[in-house]
Structure 1
Amino acid sequence: MREILNHWSDLLTYGNRVFGKLEQGAKRTSAADWFAAIKEERQTDPLLNYLHEARNVDDHGIAPVASSDHVFQIADLSGGQAVTMFSTTGRAADLQMMPGPNVTRVIALLPVKVRNAILEVPNSHRGKSIANSTPLNFAVLFLQRLEEVVAEARQWCDLAATQSPCSD
């Protein structure tokens, strides 16, 4: 489980670096307005904002942003979706569940404290509902958006190759 938590932390860190590099590359170029819109999306989109703030909390060691403590997934034997349950008190007795053939320990994302508020795990991204709020699904959505943003940045580089540091 520790390895999975470390990979989640890496995703948050390296995703943030992509945005940082794009911001630096867009400064003082014709892409500055484009990146301002990307930055605005990152502040207003529930998933992107959550991942950005979770990175800050995780990177500065303020609090955990994901946990495997007392988090279990129960396989639905009728062929439906699995159900994830966890104890918010951290007491195993509150959950009364042990790993077994149909119960496995999983990672759950946690709300993050941002200034004087709590940012809950998001349930939407780019105007669409997120039905599956697992770290894997969030990672896929985040990486898809990063790929789109990098593709957009490459178009700006192609338009203004002499104004922007856009080398491979």
Structure 2
Amino acid sequence: MKALTRTKSQIQKARGLIEELENSPDLKSFRDNWDRFLTQLERCYSHSLSELSKSPKFNGWNVRGHVEQKRKKDPLLSYMVNARGAADHTVAEITEHVKGGLDVFILPKDDSGVTRIDHMSFDGEGNVSIKCNKPLAIQRYPDFVELLPVVNRGRKYEVPNMHLGRDLSQLDPVDLATLALDYYEDYIKKAESHFVK
């Protein structure tokens, strides 16, 4: 069997889309790139099936069944498959724009006295000015895109919080995209080592 050149080309395109996600200039671009990534990720898998099915040994290969089970049962992989389905076949939103904000911390943290803010103002560029009777620490966080639960073929898929036993609760969409693509890339490497001679 020949090397899986078409599948590996699709993997590289998906890697490029992850870079585009990371470098999206605005939230609309991020959402568009997310949709494109989901489609490309599924294309990686479908191309692998197309190329690997040329081998008579493919149907009996135990890794194939393992991957198909993971695509149904693993929260991350299942979400990616079904988010792509929801994006392509419904009008439902699969991402949400979340406004950034500002956290203000009174220093020192163990101070239990009264804190009085005499004045707080914001300029048009997102800067804040605060006049207060105590020292403050200010932490700004930008707007971001959050994944939403999706409904595909009448079934709801929650935003994944696990992948192969790993906690994903602190990861953003780019991290999730990278983990999902890494899984498929590892699958392709196993397939090549097994089938390509």
The TM-score with structure 1 as length reference comes to 0.72
Correspondence list, 1:68-107, <5 A: 68=97, 71-74=98-101, 100-101=126-127, 102-107=140-145
Which residue is equivalent to 1:8?
34
Query: Among residues 36, 49, 58, which one is paired with 1:31 in the alignment?
Result: 58
Aligned residues: 137
1:154 corresponds to 2:192: yes
Residue by residue over 1:21-62, the C-alpha shift from the partner in whole angstroms, topping out at 9 and shown as x without a partner, is: 112223253132332221111111100000000001112243
Which residue is equivalent to 1:126?
164
1:62 corresponds to 2:91: yes
Select the structure that is richer in strand: 2
Structure 1 unmatched runs, 5+: 79-98, 160-168
Query: Among residues 143, 147, 172, which one is paired with 1:109 in the alignment?
Result: 147
3-state SS in 1 of match to 2:99: strand
State the Cα distance separating 1:157 from its structure 2 match: 3.0
Which residue is equivalent to 1:83?
none
Aligned-partner Cα distance in 1 for 2:101–2:193: 45
RMSD: 2.2
Which residue is equivalent to 1:93?
none
Cα 1:22–1:75 shift into 2, 3 Å: farther
Contact 1:67 1:110 in 2 (8 A): yes
The TM-score with structure 2 as length reference comes to 0.62
State percent identity of aligned pairs: 26
Which residue is equivalent to 1:46?
75
Contact 2:100 2:142 in 1 (8 A): yes
Structure 2 letter corresponding to 1:108: E
State the Cα distance separating 1:77 from its structure 2 match: 6.8
Aligned-partner Cα distance in 1 for 2:165–2:102: 30
Structure 2 letter corresponding to 1:8: W
Aligned-partner Cα distance in 2 for 1:51–1:39: 13
State the Cα distance separating 1:17 from its structure 2 match: 0.5
Aligned-partner Cα distance in 2 for 1:130–1:74: 23
Cα 1:147–1:74 shift into 2, 3 Å: farther
Contact 2:85 2:152 in 1 (8 A): no
Residue by residue over 1:73-113, the C-alpha shift from the partner in whole angstroms, topping out at 9 and shown as x without a partner, is: 446677xxxxxxxxxxxxxxxxxxxx935142110101001
Runs of 4+ in 1 over 6 A off after TM superposition: none
Range that drifts further, 23-32 or 144-153: 23-32
